[in-house]
Chains A and B, each alone.
Chain A
Amino acid sequence: MAATLKDATAIVGIGQTAFAKQLPQSEKELACRAILAALEDAGIDPSEVDAFSSYTMEETDEVEVAKAIGAGDVTFFSKIGYGGGGSCATVGHLAAAVATGQASVGVAWRSRKRGSGPRPWKNTAVQLPTPGQWTRPFGLLRPADEIGMLARRYMHEYGATRDHLFNVAMACRNRANENPAAMMYERPLTREMYMTARMISDPLCLFDNCLETDGALACVIVSAERARDCRQKPVYVHSVAQGLPSQHHGMVNYWNDDPLSGPAWTAARHLWKQADFGPQDVDVAQIYDAFTPLIPLSLEGYGFCGRGEGASFTEGGALEIGGRLPINTGGGGLSEAYVHGFNLINEGVKQLRGISTAQVPDAATCLVTAGEGVPTSAILLRA
């Protein structure tokens, strides 16, 4: 039994459906298709799956998935809270379960119909009691409004500008333009388009916001020992962490001493403490990008630069292929698909297999992060 999670498990299968504004299939069917594709990729029979993990916001339960795909007896299942903050923790929980012998084949997934479905922020009745009573009546209604508030303060404190946010949007769009599976494939972005775009929540414009997407993704986790016999090159789960900082308050983290120091900082401390390498050794990163300001905030939180330096870090093509830290090489939530960040996990695996549509040469290490601004999670992957 492993005393550490370090490289004890590996992702050996990835699967996804098409990404589109509207898909005809149900979330349940999309989930099953992505999971079966991931198992096929791994060369593992669905009857061998004995562990599941997804998000609390996932509406296809493990009970439904298990019986639909013909899983065997399941001995571990978990659901991670806080929306996009849960993505990497699904892998982390399964890695822990497999490394400690609670299960042998774990499947993590996310299926979502946000492209054609309702906006969750419209369901305000259930949000109005704590904590919504302090925000919703004043017209702070959507995640874009909540993050826009932090973004404006960040810009004020550190001299960050819309040009910096554009650098983020552009890097993601450029990668999506290389990825035929991306919703924004063959749809280039220009600085003029960005600067003249309609505002969603000033200072955030249309292109600072992720895409509304229908689609599903899944991945398969087994022990490192078993991974050696699988169909694909193993991608090892090197380090995992969740992060819920002291006095944190979710999307509207306005009430602690330092609202600009979010959950990324907490997750990062544990993530690096458990790892054999540091931020300077990361070849490529998949950083949760529901909104462009999350990138500079995350770059700081995960230690790629100092406090207040995240915006200037984006200058000079740093986030592009060949730059200091290529990010979101499939296009990310901003330009590939917004499936609560699960596409970032699978893209990290593709990079370390060497099969990304925007491959970083010889990429051997990849940081994948979940939603910053909510209780979050992160994983370090290595080839």
Chain B
Amino acid sequence: MTMQTTTATTDTAPDELLLPVPDGDGAPFWEYAAQGELRVQACAAPTCGKLRFPPRPCCPHCRSFDSEWRLMSGRGRIWSYVQPHPPLLPAYAAQAPYNVILVELADAPQIRLVGNLVTSADAPLDSMDPARLRIGARVQVVFTEMGGTAVPRWVLEKS
């Protein structure tokens, strides 16, 4: 996995998976991801400190504009999942049916991240046996390097 800063600002070619296009609020997430870290935005006001996702300019609890990015353990559980079938964009159709999972973070269950359950960081989106998809399954984040962007993916936690 390369450790370069996320710079993706354009859509990808039709035969490639889509890359995130970070906005100003979301950019730090992707910059930390490029360093192999899963971080979530948190209020930096001393009396608040609440996590929030997706990132935004100010805290919905105390309205502070001061924020920080808190390191997560990278562990979570599957809250739900779907298996998209075509018609899909070509790059996704090529790997369909694949899974998309929604992971609630072990450190903060109200923070949920959309992702994919795969057999290893660089495995295709359809690499996991669908029979192993289960709500509540414990998962661990990994990062996949795609066109200069580190994209979080999820593998089953080793017990």
Taking beta carbons and an 8 Å cutoff, which residues of A are in contact with B? 119, 122, 124-125, 128-142, 144-145, 148-150, 152-153, 156, 198-204, 247, 249, 252, 254-257
Q: Is A130 within 8 A of B88, CB to CB? A: no
B11 at the interface (CB under 8 A from A): yes
Known A145-B100, A149-B80, A201-B83; contact A156-B21, beta-carbon cutoff 8 A:
no
CB distance from B18 to the nearest CB of A (A): 5
CB distance from B50 to the nearest CB of A (A): 12
Q: List 21 A-B contacts (CB under 8 A).
A: A122-B89, A125-B10, A130-B23, A130-B25, A133-B30, A134-B20, A137-B17, A137-B19, A139-B92, A139-B98, A139-B125, A140-B114, A141-B84, A141-B88, A145-B82, A145-B100, A152-B80, A156-B135, A199-B83, A254-B102, A254-B114
Known A130-B54, A255-B112; contact A139-B84, beta-carbon cutoff 8 A:
yes
Q: Is B89 within 8 A of A141, CB to CB? A: yes
The interface residues of chain A lying within 8 Å CB-to-CB of B125 are 139
Interface membership of chain B positions 23-35, coded 1 if the CB is closer than 8 angstroms to chain A and 0 otherwise: 1011000100000
Known A149-B80, A150-B80; contact A128-B114, beta-carbon cutoff 8 A:
no
The interface residues of chain A lying within 8 Å CB-to-CB of B97 are 199, 202
CB distance from A183 to the nearest CB of B (A): 19
The interface residues of chain A lying within 8 Å CB-to-CB of B11 are 124-125, 128
The interface residues of chain A lying within 8 Å CB-to-CB of B20 are 128, 132-134, 136-137
Q: Is B84 within 8 A of A255, CB to CB? A: no
B85 at the interface (CB under 8 A from A): yes
Q: Is A137 within 8 A of B151, CB to CB? A: yes
Cβ 8 A contact of B80, one of A125, A144, A153, A257:
A153
CB distance from A122 to the nearest CB of B (A): 7
The interface residues of chain A lying within 8 Å CB-to-CB of B82 are 140, 145, 148-149, 152, 201-204
B69 at the interface (CB under 8 A from A): no
Instruction: Choose among A132, A138, A140 the residue with the greatest number of B CB atoms under 10 Å from its CB.
Output: A138
Closest chain A residue to B55 by CB distance?
A130
Q: Tell me the bound Cα distance from A119 to B112 in angstroms.
A: 27
Size of the B side of the interface (Cβ < 8 Å), in residues, is 41
Closest chain B residue to A119 by CB distance?
B87
Q: Tell me the bound Cα distance from A135 to B26 in angstroms.
A: 13
Closest chain B residue to A257 by CB distance?
B110
B58 at the interface (CB under 8 A from A): no
Taking beta carbons and an 8 Å cutoff, which residues of B are in contact with A? 10-11, 17-23, 25-26, 30, 53-54, 60, 79-85, 87-89, 92, 95, 97-98, 100, 102, 110-116, 125, 135, 151
Closest chain B residue to A204 by CB distance?
B82
Q: Is B23 within 8 A of A133, CB to CB? A: yes
Known A136-B18, A255-B112; contact A153-B135, beta-carbon cutoff 8 A:
yes
Q: Tell me the bound Cα distance from A129 to B24 in angstroms.
A: 10
The interface residues of chain A lying within 8 Å CB-to-CB of B25 are 130
Q: Is B18 within 8 A of A128, CB to CB? A: yes
Known A124-B11, A129-B21, A252-B114; contact A156-B80, beta-carbon cutoff 8 A:
yes
Q: Is A152 within 8 A of B115, CB to CB? A: no
The interface residues of chain A lying within 8 Å CB-to-CB of B135 are 152-153, 156
CB distance from A330 to the nearest CB of B (A): 27
CB distance from A258 to the nearest CB of B (A): 10
Known A124-B18, A249-B54; contact A254-B100, beta-carbon cutoff 8 A:
no
The interface residues of chain A lying within 8 Å CB-to-CB of B102 are 149, 153, 254
Q: Tell me the bound Cα distance from A131 to B21 in angstroms.
A: 10
Known A132-B21, A257-B110; contact A139-B80, beta-carbon cutoff 8 A:
no
The interface residues of chain B lying within 8 Å CB-to-CB of A257 are 110
Q: Tell me the bound Cα distance from A377 to B84 in angstroms.
A: 29
Q: Tell me the bound Cα distance from A145 to B89 in angstroms.
A: 13
CB distance from B121 to the nearest CB of A (A): 14
Q: Is B114 within 8 A of A138, CB to CB? A: yes
Q: Is B100 within 8 A of A130, CB to CB? A: no
The interface residues of chain A lying within 8 Å CB-to-CB of B17 are 137, 139
The interface residues of chain A lying within 8 Å CB-to-CB of B87 are 119
Known A124-B18, A131-B54, A139-B92; contact A200-B85, beta-carbon cutoff 8 A:
yes
Cβ 8 A contact of B84, one of A119, A122, A137, A145:
A145
Cβ 8 A contact of B116, one of A124, A138, A152, A252:
A138
